[in-house]
Amino acid sequence: MNTFAEIYHPEFVKDVQEIYWDHIHPIGLATKGVHIKSVFIDRFKPEFGPLRLVFKKYDFLAPHFLIINLDPNYSTPIHLDGAEEGKMRPISFNIPISGCNGECVTEFYDIPLSSFWKDTTTATRWLNEGASGPKIGEYRLKENPIMVCPQTPHRVNNLNGSERRITISWSLRTDWTFQQAVEYFKIQDRLILQ
Ligand SMILES: [Fe+2]
């Protein structure tokens, strides 16, 4: 429960899926392999209008998300989200867009922070060459969103996949801990217990 949790929220998923192809996909560039684009919702640009509406509708959201496109036969390296102190999001809310067929697996590892190096250009801490550690959990994103603590070492593995997997990883309120977010959705009876 400290790393990820499945959440029942079809309305939010539908709101994001409905605007994805017209208003989110064009912001990211569709490239081969692993493509991750970090997006801050601009308060003024007209093209961000539909995204601002979704952001304002749900009080648990931060104005930031990642567009993650992952082709079959590719995996991200093991990493931690964020590189600079104070800019490491505590919670991401992963929303399925397409190709979320259960073949792609998000894997979590027990590896000390000292084994990662800071990459400020991608706002990510990547695992040092040669470092490793035991796998401690995994989930497969299908219909329900999964809320994740991206401060646990993880990778998204589509090595055995047959489809490009597209997701939005929306940051939740940065004043919340992962456990506070779990409580928030639990009170609303949206927490799906495995
Ligand atoms: Fe990540």
CB-based contact 71:34 (threshold 8 Å) = yes
Name the pTM for this structure: 0.90
Residue 119 CA, ligand 1 centroid: distance in Å: 13
In the chain the domains, ranked by start, together with CATH numbers, are 4-192 (2.60.120.10)
- Give the pLDDT of residue 15: 96
Tell the burial category of 147 from Cβ atoms under 10 Å away from its Cβ (0-12, 13-18, 19+). buried
Residue 66 CA, ligand 1 centroid: distance in Å: 9
pLDDT in tens, 87-124: 889 999 999 999 999 999 999 999 999 999 999 988 99
Residue 106 CA, ligand 1 centroid: distance in Å: 9
Q: How confident is the model at residue 32 (pLDDT cuts 50, 70, 90)?
A: low
